[in-house]
Amino acid sequence: MTGKLDIDHLRQWIGRSTEASDIVTAQLVKGLRATLFQEVGEPKTGDAAPFTVHWCLAQPVFPMSMLGPDGHPTRGGFLPPVPLPRRMWAGGEIQFLQPLQVGDESTRTSRIADVQVKTGSTGTLCFVSVEHSISCPRGTAIRERQDIVYREMTSSAPAGKTPPPPPTAQHREIHVSDPVLLFRYSALTFNGHRIHYDRDYVTKVEGYPGLIFHGPLQAALIIEMAAKLRGGKAPKKFSYRGVQPLFEGTEFSVNATETADGMELWTANAEGQPTMKGTAVW
C-alpha cells in the first residue's frame, strides 16, 4: 500500500484518544518471565509483574478480514492512515512510577501526540508519536511515549559507512535470537506483524535477510537488566531508540555501562554493533 502522503490530513489525528482495560494474570506473568529469560516460578496475586507487562495488555483485536498484507490492521481508526507500507517501532520514553502486580486491573489511556514527516537515507519517513498513561488500583503506574515510524518499501538498505568499533560494556548478557523466542513474544503481545514470524514474507516481500527481532522485546530485556543491576528497582525514566534491525538465528547481547547519573544501555548483534540504544536514570 503506497499512496500520496497528505501530512495536513494525517495531522488531523493529533489529539485523538482511546482507552482499554485488561487484567494482569498469573499466566501472562509466567509467559513473559519465560520469554525474558527469568525464573518462571508460580506468581501469586500481589506479586510484581515484569516492568513492561503493559505491552502485553489490552492489545487491539481485529477480525482477520480487517488485517492488511503485513499482518497489521488496515490503516485508519485510532492511528492515522499513513500510506507508507513499512511500519516499525522506532523508540520512545517510559517513566516507571510503580510496578503492575498480578491481579491488577490496568487501564491504558492513549493519545496521538504528534505526526511528522522527514526524509532519510531510505526515502520518506512518517513518525507518529503516541502518549500512554497506564493506571492500576493504586494510581498511575506508567507514563510512556511511543514513536512509530512508517517508511517506503525499498529493496535494500543503502550502503553504509564502515561501522565504528563496538562499544565496551561493563555488564553484558548473551542470548540467541531464536525464532521460538520471537513467536512467543508475538503471541504475548497479540502482534500479527509478519516480519517477526513469516520468513517467506519478510525475505521475499520486505527484502530483509531473516525474521526481525521485536523492538519492544529488546527494550524489555534492557529494562530488566538495568533493574537487576540496581537491586530490582526500575529506572524512573528510560529513553530508547532503534538503531538497526536485529535478525533471527544469531547471538545478541544486552549491555550496560554506568554513567554519572544512570546507565547507558544497548542491545547488540553478533558483531557487537548496537541495534537499540537507551539511557536510564533513577
Instruction: State the pLDDT at residue 181.
Output: 98
pLDDT tens-place string over residues 177-234: 999 999 999 999 999 999 999 999 999 999 999 999 999 999 999 999 999 999 999 9
* Whole-number Å distance between alpha carbons of 121 and 113: 25
pLDDT at 74: 82
Low-confidence ranges of the chain (pLDDT < 70): 1-3, 155-161
Q: What pLDDT score was predicted for residue 124?
A: 92
Q: How far is CA 55 from CA 30, 199, 236, in A?
A: 15, 24, 18
Rounded distance, CA 19 to CA 109, Å? 4
Closest CA to 79 of 127, 118, 128: 128
Nearest residue to 37 via CA among 213, 231, 214, 254 = 254
d(CA 205, CA 154): 10
Give the span between the Cα atoms of 137 and 54, in whole angstroms: 14
**What is the four-CA torsion angle of 21, 22, 24, 29, rounded to 10 degrees?**
-120
Q: How many CA atoms lie within 13 A of 66 on its CB side?
A: 8
CA 52 to chain centre: 10
Residue 166 dihedral angles phi and psi, to the nearest 5°: -60, 145
pLDDT attached to residue 160:
58
Phi–psi pair at 196, nearest 5 degrees: -95, -10
